[in-house]
Chains A and B, each alone.
Chain A
Amino acid sequence: MNAATGRADMRTGWSPYAFVAPFVLVFLVFTAYPTLQSIALSVQQTYGPQASRYVGLQNFVGLAHDPLFWKALTNTAVFAAGSIFIQLPCSLGLALLLNKPQVRGRAFFRLVFFSPSLVGMIFVAVIFSLIFEKRTGLLNVLLHRAFGFDPEFPWLEDYVMPALIIAALWMYVGFNMVYFLAALQNVSPDLVDASRVDGAGVWHRFRHVTIPAIRPVGTFIVLLSLVGSFQLFELPYLLLGEGGGPNNRGLTLVMYLYQTGFETGDLGYASAIGWVIAMLLGAAAIMQRAVARGGER
Chain B
Amino acid sequence: MSRVRRGLLIYLPLLLCSAVILLPLVYMLCASIKTNEEFFTSPFLPRGSGFLGIAWDHLTSVHYRRLFYDYAFGNNIINSCFLASATSILATLLTAMGGYALARFTFRGRSLLMGLVLGTLVLPNVLLLAPSYQLLYRLGLLDHYGGVILPLAAPAFGVYLFRQAFIAGLPRELLEAGRIDGCGEMRLFFSVALPMVRPMVGAFLLITYVGTWNNFIWPQIVLQTPEKMPLSVAIAQLRGVYFQDYGMMMAGTAVSVAPVLVLFLLLQREFIAGLTAGAVKS
| Chain A residues engaging chain B, CB cutoff 8 angstroms | 4, 8, 11-12, 15-20, 22-24, 26-27, 29-35, 37-38, 41, 46, 49-50, 94, 97-98, 100, 102-103, 109-116, 118-123, 126-131, 136, 138, 141-142, 170, 173-175, 178-179, 182-183, 216-217, 220-221, 224, 227, 230-231, 233-234, 238, 254, 257-258, 261-262, 267-268, 270-271, 274-275, 277-278, 281-282, 285
Contacts and interface: CB of A to CB of B under 8 A. Distances in A.
B69 interface: no
A121 B214 contact: yes
Contacts of A257: 126, 129-130
B97 interface: yes
Interface residues of B, number: 94
25 contacts: A8-B180, A19-B189, A20-B97, A23-B97, A30-B153, A31-B154, A41-B130, A116-B25, A118-B214, A119-B260, A121-B216, A122-B216, A130-B27, A131-B27, A173-B21, A238-B236, A238-B239, A257-B126, A261-B129, A261-B130, A261-B133, A262-B129, A270-B130, A271-B127, A285-B122
Interface in B201-250: 210, 213-217, 221, 232, 235-236, 239, 243, 246, 249-250
**Interface-central residue, B138, B215, B282, by most chain A CB under 10 Å:** B282
B134 interface: yes
Contacts of A119: 25, 214, 257, 260-261
Given A11-B179, A41-B130, A126-B239, 11 more contacts: A8-B180, A15-B185, A27-B98, A102-B7, A115-B264, A116-B21, A119-B257, A122-B235, A131-B24, A138-B24, A170-B20
A30 B135 contact: yes
Interface string B1-38: 00000010011011001101111110110010000000
A231 B279 contact: no
Contacts of A285: 122
A136 B138 CA distance: 48
Nearest to A281: B124
A129 B27 CA distance: 12
A227 B124 contact: yes
A20 B180 CA distance: 23
Contacts of A20: 97-98, 101-102, 107, 113
B272 interface: yes
A257 B97 CA distance: 34
A217 B279 contact: yes
Nearest to B156: A31
**Interface-central residue, A23, A34, A37, A230, by most chain B CB under 10 Å:** A23
Contacts of B117: 27
Contact of A49 (B100, B138, B236, B257): B138
B74 interface: no
A18 B162 CA distance: 17
